[in-house]
């Protein structure tokens, strides 16, 4: 009998099944059978087969919650994949980044947290200078214009296996970034920005004024640089101020900056941590959710990060100045926190 070539009725469900299978294999470090994925939702072999082939839709909130819980992934990632808002490659990109970030954060000591914060501010300065040199400040940031300020980097479409984008050496002193053919997507832009950061961290630290490499936070520094390039602090402040409090902040910002939601979450969280002093930053668990919501029960001293305002690096980037502390000193503490957009504005180290 001829095998049916009928297109799947629910292609997003087929992608969801494939993602769950791959994620389970990563978690177990062994091969996973199809029915083991179906068992998460108490599916019989027939239902599992239909799900795998995209003939059965999986869209129940309870089913998606069960999948995210079993796989230990962000529920919104599973929801977006099930709704067809992202494809399997984009979902896997976020999964791998979350895994890398989790591993990197587990090894952070109090000193490394402070070191990361210092390097983040330096990266923001360098990215701001690159955007000024490229004469691009409107959002979304157009990466070909950014690359024009980095003449040693070229970006082309090409065949890329496994990764969405990959960088390699070309001629002496030149680097080539290849990204997967097809329509440009938010995750493609994030992957390209990551490769730009990788090249800069590898070969251009001293010319651009970045700190000497620290292997313990190398991945986090690269992540912060790429995120700062796509989501500059100044533009993030302006866009946040323009949004209604009724909208989904992360979703709206990810659409405005044309980046994955994970980039916005990481960016907001890192900027919010600027509000903490060294003692709070070194605490075993920081209630970032409360800080972002403006409902923290702690006394937050919302001011530019102390000691970092006058930090100078090894290159041409000068000291960071703050419009608040230059004349009036630290701001008064607040017992209830303050709105995110106010915190972003008042902690901005690059605002003129």
**Please, what is the average pLDDT of the chain?**
77
Sheet strands side by side (includes 175-180): 153-158, 175-180, 165-169
Which residue shows structure tokens 């690269």? 222
For residue 231, what is the DSSP state? S
Q: For 86-108, what is the mean pLDDT? A: 85
pLDDT digits (tens, 9 = 90+) for 130-142: 999 888 878 898 8
- CB-side exposure of 70: number of CA atoms within 13 Å? 21
Structure tokens at 229: 């390039």
CA 284 to chain centre: 22
Q: Is the pLDDT of residue 74 over 80?
A: yes
Sign of the four-CA dihedral 277, 281, 283, 287? positive
SS3 165: strand
Is the separation of the CB atoms in 133 and 149 below 8 Å? Answer: yes
* Rounded-to-integer distance, Cα 323 and Cα 333, Å: 18
Nearest to 58 by CA among 26, 39, 82, 34: 82
* Rounded-to-integer distance, Cα 350 and Cα 352, Å: 6
Say which CATH architecture domain 11-85 belongs to: Orthogonal Bundle (1.10)
pLDDT of residue 301: 33
Calculate what percentage of the chain has a pLDDT beyond 70.
76
Q: How confident is the model at residue 329 (pLDDT cuts 50, 70, 90)?
A: very low
pLDDT of residue 43: 93
pLDDT of residue 207: 84
**Choice among 196-200, 249-253, 279-283 with the minimum mean pLDDT:** 279-283
For residue 332, what is the DSSP state? P
* Rounded-to-integer distance, Cα 230 and Cα 307, Å: 26
pLDDT of residue 41: 93
Q: Which residues contact 110 (CB under 8 A, 6 or more apart)?
A: 278, 281, 282
CA 268 to chain centre: 10
pLDDT of residue 279: 64
Phi, psi of 61 (to 5 degrees): -60, -40
Q: Which residues contact 163 (CB under 8 A, 6 or more apart)?
A: 191
Q: Where are the domains of the chain?
A: 11-85, 110-346
Neighbours of 146 (CB within 10 A): 22
User: Would you tell me the crossing angle of helices 88-106 and 11-28 to the nearest 10 degrees?
Assistant: 30
pLDDT of residue 70: 92
SS3 179: strand
* Rounded-to-integer distance, Cα 204 and Cα 321, Å: 25
Q: For residues 289-328, b (16+ Cβ closer than 10 Å) or e, as one string?
A: ebbbebebebebebbbbeebbebebebebeebebebeeee
Q: For 114-128, what is the mean pLDDT? A: 89
Strands 165-169 and 153-158 turn out to be unpaired
Q: Is the pLDDT of residue 250 over 80?
A: yes
Q: Is the pLDDT of residue 289 over 70?
A: no
Is the separation of the CB atoms in 40 and 20 below 8 Å? Answer: yes
């Amino acid at each position: 009998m001829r095998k049916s070539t009928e297109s799947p009725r629910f292609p997003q469900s087929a992608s969801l099944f494939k993602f769950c299978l791959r994620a389970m294999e990563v978690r177990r470090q062994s091969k996973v059978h199809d029915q083991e994925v179906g068992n998460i939702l108490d599916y019989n072999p027939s239902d599992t087969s239909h799900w795998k082939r995209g003939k059965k839709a999986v869209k129940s909130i309870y089913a998606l919650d069960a999948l995210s819980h079993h796989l230990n992934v962000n529920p919104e990632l599973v929801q977006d994949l099930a709704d067809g808002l992202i494809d399997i490659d984009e979902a896997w990109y976020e999964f791998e980044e979350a895994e890398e970030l989790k591993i990197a954060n587990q090894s952070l000591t109090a000193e490394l947290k402070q070191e990361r914060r210092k390097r983040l501010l330096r990266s923001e300065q360098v990215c701001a200078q690159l955007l000024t040199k490229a004469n691009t400040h409107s959002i979304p940031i157009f990466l070909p214009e950014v690359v024009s300020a980095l003449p040693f980097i070229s970006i082309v479409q090409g065949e890329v296996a496994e990764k969405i984008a990959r960088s390699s050496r070309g001629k002496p002193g030149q680097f080539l970034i290849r990204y997967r053919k097809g329509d440009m997507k938010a995750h493609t832009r994030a992957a390209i920005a990551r490769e730009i950061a990788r090249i800069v961290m590898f070969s251009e630290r001293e010319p651009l004024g970045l700190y000497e490499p620290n292997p313990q936070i190398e991945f986090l520094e690269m992540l912060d640089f790429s995120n700062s390039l796509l989501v500059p602090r100044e533009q993030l402040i302006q866009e946040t101020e323009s949004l209604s409090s009724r909208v989904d902040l992360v979703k709206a910002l990810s659409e405005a900056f044309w980046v994955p939601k994970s980039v916005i979450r990481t960016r907001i969280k890192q900027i919010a941590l600027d509000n903490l002093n060294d003692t709070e930053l070194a605490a075993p668990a920081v209630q970032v959710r409360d800080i972002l919501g403006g409902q923290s029960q702690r006394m937050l001293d919302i001011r530019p990060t102390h000691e970092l305002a006058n930090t100078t690096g090894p290159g041409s980037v000068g000291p960071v100045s703050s419009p608040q502390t230059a004349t009036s000193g630290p701001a008064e503490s607040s017992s209830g926190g303050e709105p995110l957009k106010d915190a972003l504005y008042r902690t901005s180290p690059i605002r003129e």
